[in-house]
Amino acid sequence: MSTMPPQLWLVIPAWREAERLEAFATRLLPALANSGLPIALQIVDDGSPAVFADTLDARCRAWGSSHPFVQPLLRLPRNRGKGAAIYAGWDLAVANAATRLGFCDADGSVDADEMVRLSRLALDPPPEESEVLLASRHWPGARARWSSPLRRVLSRAFVAWVRNQTGLAASDTQCGAKFLPAALYVRIRPELRVERFAFDVELLTAARRAGASLREEPVAWTHRANGRLNLMRDGFSAMREVVRIGRRG
């Protein structure tokens, strides 16, 4: 691991995720350590019950003892949503002078080697460039393994809904890996109100309004079982949030 100060602050939001995150960490931590990239890894617990958060806190301490780039667990006092957890981590990153921000999902659907590859791409342009890098399961060259054809169809349907409501021309707004310059995040932070599953749409829409470009990167992605997303409940909630985002312009 590089001895340079962390330029990229990579956040993993976690809600009741001690077990799945431990499985992902066994692959991610060595991959980041061997990459030589100037990265800090920040896990944010999104108000999990104490039994989960305490377990995750102990594991973060253990991981940090062998991998100094692992930051102490950041714990939110109550469950607010994936977006809220990511933004809390990014706010801390800004306070620590990180120049690039990113996140990935705790289930490892975008696995360790892919996260290293994406992190390299995110660090490649100068930090002042206004470019958002988003992993895509639908971009040409992507290798996505869906648990069912229904999930793939619903994902594409959501993309079409987002485009209809907001004009956002992205092939995949919901894949769990995105990166952006910290300076861009600081500019758009006051506009970011959505804290749950449609937060990605608001983030990308605000970035586009601020003049940022969207760079989609095909990714190897595997649906992981026991996910936290309820297709019916959370899907309809996200669609309603997209309508509100579109109305705000």
Q: What is the pLDDT of residue 1?
A: 46
pLDDT > 70 fraction of the chain, expressed in percent and rounded? 93
Dist. CA 214–CA 204, nearest whole Å: 8
Residue 103, pLDDT above cutoff 90: yes
Backbone angles phi, psi at 28, to 5 degrees: -70, -45
Backbone angles phi, psi at 214, to 5 degrees: -110, 125
Q: Which residues contact 60 (CB under 8 A, 6 or more apart)?
A: 43, 70, 71, 72, 73
Token pair 């449609």 is found at 198
Select the more confidently predicted residue: 82 or 232. Answer: 82
Q: Which CATH class is domain 8-248?
A: alpha beta
* Domains of the chain, residue spans: 8-248
CB 27 within 8 Å of CB 85: no
pLDDT band at 234 (very low <50, low <70, confident <90, very high): low
pLDDT averaged over every residue in the chain: 92
Dist. CA 110–CA 137, nearest whole Å: 10
Residue 232, pLDDT above cutoff 80: no
Residue type for position 110:
V
Q: What is the pLDDT of residue 34?
A: 97
Residue 216, pLDDT above cutoff 70: yes
Dist. CA 152–CA 98, nearest whole Å: 35
- Picking from 106, 130, 141, 103, the residue whose alpha carbon sits closest to that of residue 119 is 103
Dist. CA 67–CA 59, nearest whole Å: 12
Dist. CA 226–CA 15, nearest whole Å: 13
Between the two ends of the chain, the Cα-to-Cα distance in Å is 42
Dist. CA 244–CA 187, nearest whole Å: 21
